[in-house]
Amino acid sequence: MPFTDDGIIIAKRPLGENDAVVTIFTAQHGKHNGLVFGASGRKNVATVQIGNMVRCTWKARVAQSLGFWKLETADRYRLDMKNAPVISCACDLLNHVLAERQASPEIYARAVELFATLSRENYLAFENFCLSGLGYGPAPTQPAELRRFLSAHGIRINLPLRDLLA
């Protein structure tokens, strides 16, 4: 059952020499995994980066299988050293707390808003919105409390909290 949607690349894992399994959080279909052929090749290396907004088409022979992506770049966010922790943490959070193939249009809209502004304050508001919206309750704002909170709920994320909460 193929679909075309807008999405944010939230994770990628290499597969073989040039391919990758890419996780994309889409507006209408939620978090989906798929194979991207030639992901580390010359044509696709700039498109298949965590945090990129893409126009994606997912196809599979059977709806329950892994499937594969065809990607077109919709928007790239300026990745400088100030913005990298915000993008990394937001994508990591989305990858770990979202259910597979379950649409979350409110969270997607907030993620797009966060990526447009890329500020630490908006990240903390986004994190609280995600965690409380998914039933985890409001997240604490101090690094030590946040680590205990996330580990108590079984969420293992390597967050550079010192950079985000400073």
pLDDT digits (tens, 9 = 90+) for 13-41: 999 889 999 999 998 999 999 999 988 88
Which residue ranges make up each domain of the chain? 3-75, 84-165
What is the pLDDT, as a whole number, of residue 79? 55
Task: Name the more confident of 145 and 98.
Answer: 98
CATH fold of 3-75 reads: OB fold (Dihydrolipoamide Acetyltransferase, E2P) (2.40.50)
- Whether the CB-CB separation of 36 and 44 falls below 8 Å is answered with yes
How many CB atoms are located within 10 Å of the residue 130 CB? 22
pLDDT at position 50 over 70: yes
- Whether the CB-CB separation of 140 and 114 falls below 8 Å is answered with no
Q: How far is CA 23 from CA 33, 58, 140, in A?
A: 4, 11, 27
What is the pLDDT, as a whole number, of residue 144? 64
d(CA 62, CA 59): 9
Helix (H) or strand (E) holding 111: helix 105-117
DSSP 100: B
List pLDDT tens digits, range 68-124: 899 988 766 555 567 777 888 889 989 988 989 899 999 999 999 888 888 777 888
Q: Residues with Cβ < 8 Å from 153, sequence gap 6 or more?
A: 136
Question: pTM of the full predicted structure?
Answer: 0.81
d(CA 165, CA 142): 7
